[in-house]
Amino acid sequence: MTIVITIANQKGGVGKTTTAINLAAALAAKKKKTLLVDMDPQGNSTISFLQDESIDKSIYDALTGTTTQLKEVVHKADLDHLWIVPSRISLAKLESKLIGDFDAHFRLRDRLESVRAEYDFIIIDTPPTLGLITVNALVAASHLLIPIQSSYYALEGTDDLLETLDKVKSRPNPDLQVIGVLITLHDKRTTLSRDVAQKIQEAFGDKVFKTVISRSIRLEESPAYKESIFSFAPHSSGAFEYYSLSEEVMARV
């Protein structure tokens, strides 16, 4: 059965894209057929794996068009076992384009149906909002992964995310489960970080992944070189941590 993991948190800069890219790359390295779907109009996941010139049609065309099939927007990444569905800034128009369409929340789930069975894992990156794009990603998912930045305001906003999760579970997608909460951008040298990690533990209990992603220069730099952490700095702490996350993910599904 295909596992579809949506990575969401409506706060920006908490490591959603970094997690989407590196979790997808780690699963592919384990020879799991993996599709990374970029649902953020900013397209940061897209440009980590694809050259801009190679992108003709994007997820927006598949979600809104009547003629573009989803498989036409699947690109092979330069990495074995990994494919990408790119996004472009046009995706920002999704909400206004689909307004009034009775199936607006179901578009991604419906369009993925035709390719879903070809993959072991589908990883969906989302924008920093709880609008229609993120709701589509939650409706399409079997699992939700929540990255939380280890900072003073870490838990601010998670209530809204969990409320959206409950709404999606109550009707369109009752089987949606939280696969885990991932502490990101952690600095184990500071007491603040340790206090915050403890607060996150108290709030989410055993949902919190044992793997914690540390703040690291290598992870910060890797997107600029259009690489996952595994090719950019294979022996770095970031590579070790994201590999360990992929093991926990596989054990939890």
CB of 16 to Mg ion, least distance (A): 5
What DSSP string describes the chain?
Answer: --EEEEE--SSTTSSHHHHHHHHHHHHHHTT--EEEEE--TT-HHHHHHS-GGG--S-HHHHHH-SS--GGGG-EE-SSTTEEEE---GGGGGHHHHHTT-TTGGGHHHHHHHHHHTT-SEEEEE--SS-SHHHHHHHHH-SEEEEEEESSTTTTTTHHHHHHHHHHHHHTT-TT-EEEEEEEESB-TTSHHHHHHHHHHHHHHGGGB-S--PBP-HHHHHGGGGT--HHHH-TTSHHHHHHHHHHHHHHHH-
Q: At what angle do helices 107-116 and 132-140 cross, to 10 degrees?
A: 40
User: Binders of ligand ADP among 221-250, rule CB under 6 A?
Assistant: 223
Interface with ligand ADP (CB under 6 A), residue from 12, 54, 65, 71: 12
Residue number with CB closer to ligand ADP (16 or 81)? 16
Residue number with CB closer to ligand ADP (115 or 143)? 143
CB of 117 to ligand ADP, least distance (A): 28
CB of 110 to ligand ADP, least distance (A): 25
Residue number with CB closer to ligand ADP (12 or 234)? 12
Per partner kind, with CB cut-offs from 5 to 8 A, the member of Mg ion, ligand ADP, none near residue 164 is: none
Contact status: 188 vs ligand ADP (CB under 6 A): no
Per partner kind, with CB cut-offs from 5 to 8 A, the member of Mg ion, ligand ADP, none near residue 41 is: none
The footprint of ligand ADP on this chain (CB under 6 A) covers a number of residues equal to: 17
Interface with ligand ADP (CB under 6 A), residue from 138, 197, 219, 249: 219
Q: From the CB of residue 47, how many other CB atoms can be counted at a distance below 10 Å?
A: 16
Contact status: 213 vs ligand ADP (CB under 6 A): yes
CB of 232 to ligand ADP, least distance (A): 11
R_g of the chain, CA atoms, integer Å: 17
Q: Which residues bind Mg ion (CB under 5 A)?
A: 16-17
Interface with ligand ADP (CB under 6 A), residue from 4, 5, 10, 17: 17
Judged by the rule CB under 6 A, the positions of this chain that interact with ligand ADP are: 12-18, 44, 128, 184-185, 213, 215-216, 219-220, 223
